[in-house]
Amino acid sequence: MVAAHDKILTWHLRDYGDDLRTAAAEAIQVAETTGCRTQLSHLCAVGRRNWGAVTDVLAMIDESEVDIGVDLYPYLAGNAPLSQLLPAWVTDGGADTTRERLADPVVRQRIRAAWADNALSWDEITVSALPGDQAPLRRTIADLGAADAALDLIAAHGNAVIMTAGGRGADDLAAVLAHPTSVVASDGLALDPAGPTGGGVPHPRSYGCFPRFLASGTVPLPEAVRKATSAPAARIGLIDRGVLAEGNRADIVVLDPDALADRATFTDPHRFPAGIDLVLVNGEVVVANGEHTGARPGVVHRN
């Protein structure tokens, strides 16, 4: 069905750590069997011992005869529910069943044993959002009490506890961003520092993904612009966006390459970038002289 409609099958690989190569091979095999255009999202290797694995995955993509693309955001840490660290058998059956299991000391011991050889250490994981008591915010799981603290947080709040998880390598990041099949995707949210979404410490990618990439020098600026505009638009079939052309939607960013900078940080993420003077969406000015005009001409796209 996906192939027949020329749509894209998008994967969050089942493992970005020790089993990255195997997980990617599974996705590529599905692509080759079905003929679906395929996207491997957020391609990275988590854990120092796995650095370099993305190079093998990129080679597998190069060797494949089907259409496989990748995307990534230009940071050495990701963002996800803390509960994603649980072994799959713990969450089988849904939230209520998971909560019951986490109340069982025997189950907790099994989880701690499974976590003993994690590729990611507890000092590389920081609490970035949770309901209720905000005391754990910005603190590492190691600082909070390691495995027992993680289990307590998940038992109390389920998937609402969000972590920022590091453990990625700079060479891997550069290799993915420079690969011919890659496009840049923030995997972020639309946030307003002055509004109800302005709390917590979300991943800075929501504010600085594209300025960070464009200013990084990972690839020449024209190629960086292509990876952030026309390439992803073409990838998902937005035929009237991503390129400055007569008849296209006027989504335009005017920037100063010398001043362009991501000012959002992991500890202070609610900061807009520097070096962007003018932004038009659907031909209407939404940022002028670096300030939001209040205009909201954007629309939701369904493809």
| Per-residue pLDDT, 3 | 84
Do 207 and 271 touch, CB atoms closer than 8 A?
Answer: yes
Is 5 a residue whose pLDDT tops 90? no
Residue 86 in any domain: the answer is: yes
pLDDT tens for each residue of 23-66:
999 999 999 999 999 999 999 999 999 999 999 999 999 999 99
Residue 182 in any domain: the answer is: no
Measured CA to CA, the distance from residue 163 to residue 129 in angstroms comes to 7
Environment class of 63 (CB within 10 Å of its CB; exposed 0-12, middle 13-18, buried 19+)? exposed
Residue 170 in any domain: the answer is: no
Residue 61 in any domain: the answer is: no
Assess whether 151 and 206 both reside in one domain. no
Q: Closest by alpha carbon to 273, among 197, 189, 210, 184?
A: 210
Q: Closest by alpha carbon to 115, among 75, 78, 142?
A: 142
Assess whether 152 and 105 both reside in one domain. yes
Assess whether 160 and 228 both reside in one domain. no
Domain that holds residue 146: 78-165
What are the distances in angstroms from CA 86 to CA 82, 111, 157, 162?
Answer: 8, 7, 14, 13
Assess whether 211 and 292 both reside in one domain. yes
Assess whether 297 and 222 both reside in one domain. yes
Assess whether 135 and 228 both reside in one domain. no
Report the mean per-residue pLDDT for the chain. 95
Residue 57 in any domain: the answer is: no
Residue 156 in any domain: the answer is: yes
Is 295 a residue whose pLDDT tops 80? yes
Q: State which of 165, 184, 211 marks the end of a domain.
A: 165
3-state helix, strand, coil in the chain (%, to 5): 40, 15, 45
Where does the pLDDT of residue 263 fall: very low under 50, low under 70, confident under 90, or very high at 90 and above? Answer: very high
Is 145 a residue whose pLDDT tops 90? yes
Assess whether 202 and 161 both reside in one domain. no
| Per-residue pLDDT, 301 | 80
Assess whether 202 and 299 both reside in one domain. yes
Residue 26 in any domain: the answer is: no
pLDDT tens for each residue of 115-131:
999 999 999 999 999 99
Instruction: Count CA atoms within 13 Å of residue 275 on its CB side.
Output: 16
Assess whether 161 and 224 both reside in one domain. no
Assess whether 239 and 147 both reside in one domain. no
User: Backbone phi, then psi, for 40, in 5-degree steps?
Assistant: -95, 110
Assess whether 137 and 230 both reside in one domain. no
Coil vs helix vs strand at 171:
helix
| Per-residue pLDDT, 82 | 97
Residue 118 in any domain: the answer is: yes
| Per-residue pLDDT, 44 | 98
Q: Count structural domains, the chain.
A: 2
Assess whether 160 and 204 both reside in one domain. no
Q: Closest by alpha carbon to 78, among 142, 150, 126?
A: 126
